[in-house]
A and B are shown apart, each in its own frame.
Chain A
């Protein structure tokens, strides 16, 4: 291009010179700038080409046309030569100038590119340092390993801290070399990596330099750098978390074991009253065998249970202990009678309970505890009765035993005073008072002694048919029965009693004697001994058609030394004794009468009574 330009410029200059020949003087006037231009723009070669071409054109076309001579003059030759020399010089100078100019430009360019490189390098170094810092200071352990060998290329400070190594001990080694993991464990991770390309939150155990086992959560990714395969692994130490979890699990298990094995019942309910859990004791206390049975709403418990306070007032579900707890009350030692409807039983439970709140104090659930205080209650009741008896006993010593003494001493005084007066009728009457009082005292003492013995069972517990026991009792009271002409009817139901046989006989003996004694003016005295089912247990009864008992006085009936009939020859011990025997045999006794003239029915239970009931009897 440069040479073509030089040639075209020369030809253009030539044509211009020829066209303007008339006005232009020296023949080379237009060739000089052309050569200079060609050399400046094109360099040495084009400069020489323009010089040579200009010289040739001048020699063959311009000079001959102007002088019309075939031969060049000396002057023309010298001028041509001078033109050629000057043209060559100009080309050379222009060439040198060009070279110098290019070198300067090159130098400038070189300088610029070095600075750029330097700053780029600095930036790179900065970035690298930043990444190295990030890598090194990361709060979790990181390792870069080369694959497939698995040799460590780089690890961060956390890694060294975790596994207790120095950096130079690690680089170039595999985790198996270091004993951090065994070949099997590493293969497991490698297989996972192979399959998925990455591993996330893989939980495993690894060994540190000192041999400590650490629980770790491991994540790994395959990466390619410079055509090389690497694995970048990050590791989090979850030993503390694992330990805390294990401790929590252990404490939960321990708590659970305690809750399941304490004798106190524990029931847990949602705030809506839906029962969630019963411990074993609670299941037993409710007569449930599986947890499913307890998982119902509180309201549904009313289908199965009836709760009442100790006075017997039935409690609405809203007054049940759990309802009160769910309303925010904290309960302690709330005693409630619990009656299950089917199968029927009744016990007394002492309830406690409170709401369980979360860390923010918001209620989460209700917890109610219960324990069976039936026996304690019964024992307390018995103790109270015994105590009352003791009080009455002391009282009796000062009254009932003193009374006959007063009679004896006083009438002895009358006898002494009136002996000489010869009023035989009065003397006889006085002796009668003394005898009655002495007899009464003697009987009182005998019966007191007897009473002190019935507090305990003295004979072995046996099983004996009801009819045998009643038969024995009938023999003992035969005298009074025949004297009053009482007809006795005994059930034929196959009832078997269990207990101290002579004591059981005493129960019937006393009840039969009592009935016979209080027949009043009944013309057809009758006593019925029988059994019936009530509240799920056999209840025995001795029913008469005698004078009956005023309902107002029925509660005094079984009290020690309590007598309802002032004229009777009783001491007020018989029925107290009957009650004591029944209680010792785990039973209860009560009297029913619609009042005077309506007869009396004594009903009682005895633990261990069995009745192979016939269908007719239950109907």
Chain B
């Protein structure tokens, strides 16, 4: 909100229920219609690189933030992360991992590949709500993004 333009989030999540949870929690930050949801890794890459179903830059504006699940169909989340960070135009794009996996290897791999933050989905309504609230304040209210 300190930023002039509203923040656009690319939500990469294969579980439709989880996508709904994220959407509901971020509604308070008035970004609901700025959340682009894709359900697998290939779709995320297609969106970011304007390929496949998202061919043409106009149809897929560059997001400000990627909210990325790790276990994804077709291309997994870590590969998506690697591709983003390997691309000259996309490497400054912040990627926040949001996953059910608390596995150490996932955490290490995510940070090694340039993740900006690693969040584990809590198995508890209140905690999940609080997490998304904190996430919203931090990333959507206070965080500054590169232009």
Contact = CB atoms under 8 A, between A and B. Distances in A.
B147 interface: no
Contacts of B128: 406, 409-410, 413
Interface string B1-28: 0000000000000110110110010000
A402 B126 CA distance: 16
A288 interface: no
Interface residues of B, number: 30
Given A395-B101, A406-B122, A564-B74, A553 B17 contact: no
A407 interface: yes
A436 interface: yes
A556 B74 contact: yes
Contacts of B15: 403, 407
A26 B40 CA distance: 183
A443 interface: no
Contacts of B73: 562-566
B119 interface: no
B99 A399 contact: yes
19 contacts: A399-B71, A399-B103, A400-B71, A402-B121, A403-B100, A406-B121, A406-B128, A407-B17, A407-B18, A410-B17, A410-B125, A413-B125, A414-B125, A552-B74, A562-B73, A563-B73, A564-B74, A566-B40, A566-B43
A496 interface: no
Contacts of B99: 399
A173 interface: no
Given A399-B101, A402-B100, A566-B40, A413 B17 contact: no
Given A395-B71, A403-B18, 4 more contacts: A403-B15, A409-B124, A410-B128, A413-B128
A414 B101 CA distance: 23
A203 B17 CA distance: 101
A563 B129 CA distance: 29
A563 B69 CA distance: 14
A413 B129 contact: yes
Nearest to B70: A399
A411 interface: yes
A405 B18 CA distance: 11
A399 B71 CA distance: 8
Given A413-B129, A550-B42, A406 B123 contact: yes
Contacts of A566: 14, 39-40, 43, 72-74
B75 interface: yes
B26 to A, nearest CB: 14
Chain A facing B: main interface SS: helix
Contacts of A395: 71, 101, 103
Interface in B87-112: 99-103
Contact of A409 (B74, B103, B125): B125
A271 interface: no
A405 B124 CA distance: 9
A398 B104 CA distance: 11
B74 to A, nearest CB: 5
A402 B122 CA distance: 9
Contacts of A433: 17, 20
Given A403-B15, A564-B73, A565-B73, A414 B40 contact: no
Contacts of B103: 395, 398-399
A405 B123 contact: yes
Interface in B124-145: 124-126, 128-129
B131 to A, nearest CB: 11
B102 A553 contact: no
Contact of A567 (B20, B21, B39, B102): B39
Given A398-B100, A399-B101, A406-B100, A411 B17 contact: yes
Interface string A584-604: 000000000000000000000
Contacts of A563: 14, 73
A398 B74 contact: no
A331 interface: no
A27 to B, nearest CB: 170
A437 interface: yes
A474 interface: no
Interface string B33-70: 00000011011000000000000000000000000001
Interface in A527-574: 550, 552-553, 556, 562-567
B124 to A, nearest CB: 6
A178 interface: no
Given A406-B128, A409-B124, A436 B39 contact: no
A412 B21 CA distance: 12
A553 B42 contact: yes
Contacts of B124: 409, 413
